[in-house]
A = this chain, B = another copy of it.
Amino acid sequence: MDDKDRQIIRALQRDGRISNQDLAAQVSLSPSPCLRRVRNLEKAGVIRGYAARVDARACGLAITAFVRIRLERHDETTVQTFEREVGRMQEVTECHVMTGQTDYQLRVVVASLDAYEAFIRARLQRIGGIGSIDTSFAYGIVKDSPVFPAE
């Protein structure tokens, strides 16, 4: 992982569909070694994939919520059940294990407040073992960048 790799990563975070030729030009390599580096980063798991960045509102998904959750117990069964079920729920786009007051922070994307309430009551609570839920809604985006900080 040298400086060229880092340049490549940042360029691909900015534009995941840049052509290999343009990418090679940006990092001052010829196309062959550039492509080989990209493939190596993919195989090594540094690049986990590529994704379109989509406007949730334009897709009719008006509500983005960050949900902090504490479990009632932390035995293996409760934890595994929670993580498995959350992994299956399409509405949950992210789930982080957290330090501090809460065990998990979820990012939940749904169409409406009604859909949010239905999700919490009919799907999330039904998992069982959840001690507390604390929701904050995002109603504006100041910044959303796929690019990591440089050194």
- Which residues of A does B touch, CB under 8 Å? 1, 6, 9, 12-17, 44-56, 58-59, 61, 64, 66, 68, 83, 86-87, 90-102, 104-105, 109-110, 136-150
Residue of B nearest to A82 (CB): B142
B137:A100 contact, CB within 8 angstroms? yes
Among A53, A83, A98, A149, the one with the most B-chain Cβ atoms within 10 Å of its Cβ is A149
A104:B48 contact, CB within 8 angstroms? no
Residue of B nearest to A134 (CB): B100
Task: Tell which of B50, B68, B92, B110 touches A53, judged by Cβ atoms closer than 8 Å.
Answer: B50
Lowest 10 A-B CB distances belong to which pairs? A97-B140, A51-B146, A16-B50, A12-B52, A90-B149, A96-B138, A95-B142, A95-B143, A17-B50, A46-B58
